């Protein structure tokens, strides 16, 4: 068998599989997902089917695709893609809630933290989130890395720099007025 025939065989098998299962999979996903997510879910399912084309034992050749034999396995793949999408959507919603809560000013309980909130607001968004995860949620850099998708080393560096910027900002705000004392620079004479 030539190299071109060998490399074309999985593609032909996949095209035959898609021809047989795309419409039933679309109906399957349409009944289980929001209308605006169906096309993306179908694409993800077909991508997994392409990657796992050799795992489908009943798909012997490109010319012989029995939908009744392959659809149950394809439905299982679609269910997995749907579950992944639902988990990802849940994570996005929880992240949005956390971000929304972190953006609200803390209730004034007697102490004035306006300077701190102003200094936090001056940080870049990702740096602010790292500081808040560290300070408010008590997460270690490796846990923050997991939450943000950064490496633990990158989180440690960003956290160190952000804390240094916060300290500098707060020091500037709490420093007495800048400039010269009234008697400074004058000669007594």
What tens digit of pLDDT does each residue of 8-52 get? 688 888 898 999 899 999 999 999 899 999 999 999 999 999 999
For residue 144, give its domain range. Answer: 113-174
Residue 28 lies in a domain: yes
- 104 versus 64: the higher-pLDDT residue is 64
Determine if the pTM surpasses 0.75: no
Residue 125's CATH number: 1.10.10.10
Residue 186 lies in a domain: no
Q: Are residues 16 and 89 in the same domain?
A: yes
Rounded-to-integer distance, Cα 25 and Cα 46, Å: 9
Considering its fold, how many domains does the chain have in total? 2
Residue 139 lies in a domain: yes
Q: Are residues 146 and 75 in the same domain?
A: no
**Mean pLDDT, range 147-155, rounded to an integer:** 89
What tens digit of pLDDT does each residue of 90-100 get? 999 999 888 88
Q: Are residues 72 and 132 in the same domain?
A: no
- 178 versus 76: the higher-pLDDT residue is 76
Question: Is a pLDDT exceeding 70 seen at residue 87?
Answer: yes
Residue 42's CATH number: 1.10.1740.10
First to last CA, the chain: 106
- 59 versus 7: the higher-pLDDT residue is 59
Q: Are residues 77 and 15 in the same domain?
A: yes
Q: Are residues 90 and 140 in the same domain?
A: no
Query: CA–CA distance from 92 to each of 76, 87, 141 (Å)?
Result: 24, 9, 21
Structure tokens at 93: 């919603």
Structure tokens at 75: 């439905």
Q: State the average pLDDT for the chain.
A: 81
- What phi and psi, each to the nearest 5 degrees, are found at residue 61? -135, 165
Q: Are residues 13 and 90 in the same domain?
A: yes
Q: Are residues 53 and 23 in the same domain?
A: yes
- What phi and psi, each to the nearest 5 degrees, are found at residue 151? -85, 155
Residue 179 lies in a domain: no
Rounded-to-integer distance, Cα 150 and Cα 42, Å: 30
Residue 100 lies in a domain: no
Q: Are residues 31 and 78 in the same domain?
A: yes
Q: Are residues 119 and 45 in the same domain?
A: no
pLDDT of 180 reads 47
Q: Are residues 20 and 63 in the same domain?
A: yes
- Show which of 61, 94, 127 is a domain's final residue: 94
Residue 69 lies in a domain: yes
**What is the C-alpha R_g of the chain?**
29
Rounded-to-integer distance, Cα 172 and Cα 58, Å: 72
Residue 182 lies in a domain: no
Residue 36 lies in a domain: yes
């Amino acid at each position: 068998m030539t190299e071109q025939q060998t490399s074309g065989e999985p593609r032909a098998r996949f095209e035959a599989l898609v021809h047989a299962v795309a419409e039933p999979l679309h109906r399957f996903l349409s009944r289980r997902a929001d209308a605006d997510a169906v096309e993306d879910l179908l694409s993800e399912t077909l991508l997994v089917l392409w990657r796992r084309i050799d795992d489908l034992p009943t798909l012997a050749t490109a010319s012989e695709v029995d939908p009744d034999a392959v659809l149950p396995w394809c439905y299982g793949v679609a269910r997995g893609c749907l579950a992944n999408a639902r988990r990802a959507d849940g994570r996005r919603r929880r992240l949005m809630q956390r971000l929304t809560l972190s953006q609200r000013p803390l209730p004034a309980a007697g102490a004035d933290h306006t300077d701190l909130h102003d200094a936090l607001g001056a940080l870049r968004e990702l740096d602010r989130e790292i500081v808040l995860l560290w300070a408010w949620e008590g997460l270690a850099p490796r846990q923050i890395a997991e939450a943000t998708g950064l490496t633990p080393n990158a989180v440690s560096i960003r956290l160190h720099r952000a804390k240094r910027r916060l300290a500098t900002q707060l020091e500037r705000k709490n420093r007495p007025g800048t400039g010269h004392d009234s008697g400074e620079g004058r000669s007594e004479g």
